Amino acid sequence: MFSGFIGSIFSGHGYILLVSIFIFRRCFAISSKELAINEAIKFKEVRVIGEDGTQLGIMPVDKALKAAYEKDLDLVNISPNATPPVCKIMNYGKYRFEQSKKEKEVRKNQKIIEIKEIRLGLGIDVHDFETKGNQAIKFLKSGNKVKVSIRFRGRELGHPEIGLDTMARFASYCEEFSNVEKAAKMEGRNMLMFLAPKSAK
């Protein structure tokens, strides 16, 4: 059966069968999630751009497909909402590979901003205060935001002004590297303040 199939390729209608197999491969071998390509293009007539950017004019889609296949390239519908729709002849596999590389490069260069937390106490001593301040500055210089928190216990809840004073001193200690994004405010038993890194000049 298989030998008969091979033989049919070279018989009278064999050439048509061979071309059909080739078209099937070109249509489905490449992912077309974002752009319609080749046989997936359903418009009767399209405006065609050559692989070098040359305007080839408006033509029936089957003629445009033939022009692409003759160059062993793909017909890609780059502007389906235009009148008529615009298609470009290109190597779609190479195009998607290059786009994927660019997207990876963009993701690699994106800075992920984290929120680091620094916890203070109402009776924090000078040494501990400076240690916490230097740690916050390190986070800020790395481009991260800092959440500063103070936990109030028992009778401390009656003295929020002490917490506000501590927060003000902390913000002043870090002011060379930060801006107060959210001023100190009580939230339940906690007082919170958010510092954001200063933009590089």
Tell me whether residue 20 is in a domain: no
Closest by CA to 66, choosing from 89, 92, 86, is 89
Are residues 134 and 71 located together in one domain of the fold? no
Three-state SS letters, 52-73: CCCEEEEEEHHHHHHHHHHCCC
Based on the domain organization, do 74 and 121 belong to the same domain?
A: no
Domain check: are 119 and 193 in the same one? yes
Which structural domain, as residue segments, surrounds residue 153?
Answer: 115-197
Which of the two residues, 54 and 8, has the higher pLDDT score? 54
Name the band, by pLDDT with cuts 50, 70 and 90, for residue 40: confident
- DSSP output for 80-114: TTSSS-EEEEE-HHHHHHHHHHHHHHHHHH-----
What's the confidence (pLDDT) of residue 107?
79
Q: Are residues 130 and 93 in the same domain?
A: no
97 and 148 both lie in a single domain: no
Q: Could you tell me the CATH number of the domain that includes residue 75?
A: 3.10.20.80
Q: Which range, of 25-34, 65-74, 77-86, averages the lowest pLDDT?
A: 25-34
pLDDT at 12 (0 to 100)? 43
CA distances from 45 to 66, 86, 132 (A): 13, 9, 68
Q: Is the domain of 103 the same as that of 121? A: no
pLDDT at 6 over 60: no
Of 13-22, 53-62, 122-131, the least confident: 13-22
Count of domains observed in the chain = 2
Note if the pTM is more than 0.75.
no
**Contacts for 148 with CB less than 8 Å, ≥ 6 apart:** 117, 118, 119, 120, 136, 167, 170, 184, 192, 193, 194, 195
Same domain (yes/no): 145, 191: yes
